[in-house]
Amino acid sequence: MSGPRLQRVADQDRRLIEITVDGWAMSAMEGDTLLVAILAQRSYLREASGEPQGEMPAAGFCLMGACQDCWVWHEDGRRVRACTTYAEPGMRIRTTWPDHLLAS
């Protein structure tokens, strides 16, 4: 599955905003959580990755800030929980560990 995971079914008449995710421009709707913004475009929040511990692919689980499965990063390294953080215009998000952290 590579298309959008989440299907918008209501309240779709909202202002579009632009964010950047893993270097790609993405348009989201005002009021989207980061999780929704990303999963309305693609099927995963994080891909399987080697670091830090052979991550499994993930797309969130509880959407209520309980399972902690959906944390992503601002490009500058700040950590955010995608299901409880709203997308804001210009946000630059990455879903893999920012390599510069602890490296310099």
Residue 10: HSE in the Cβ half-sphere, 13 Å Cα cutoff = 0
Task: State which of positions 73-92 bind other proteins (CB under 8 A).
Answer: 73, 77-79, 81, 84, 86
> Would you give the binding string for ligand FES spanning residues 4-43, x where CB under 6 A is met?
----------------------------------------
CB of 104 to ligand FES, least distance (A): 30
Q: Where does residue 16 rank: exposed (0-12), middle (13-18), buried (19+ CB within 10 A)?
A: exposed
Chain mean position to CA 93: 7
Check residue 88 and report its DSSP letter. Answer: -
Binding of other proteins by 22 (CB under 8 A)? no
Of 52, 57, 53, the C-alpha closest to 39 is 57
Of 42, 16, 38, the C-alpha closest to 85 is 38
- Residues interacting with ligand FES, by CB under 6 A? 60-63, 65-70, 81, 83
- Residues interacting with other proteins, by CB under 8 A? 1, 5-15, 29-33, 36, 40, 43-45, 48, 51-53, 56-69, 71, 73, 77-79, 81, 84, 86, 97, 101-104
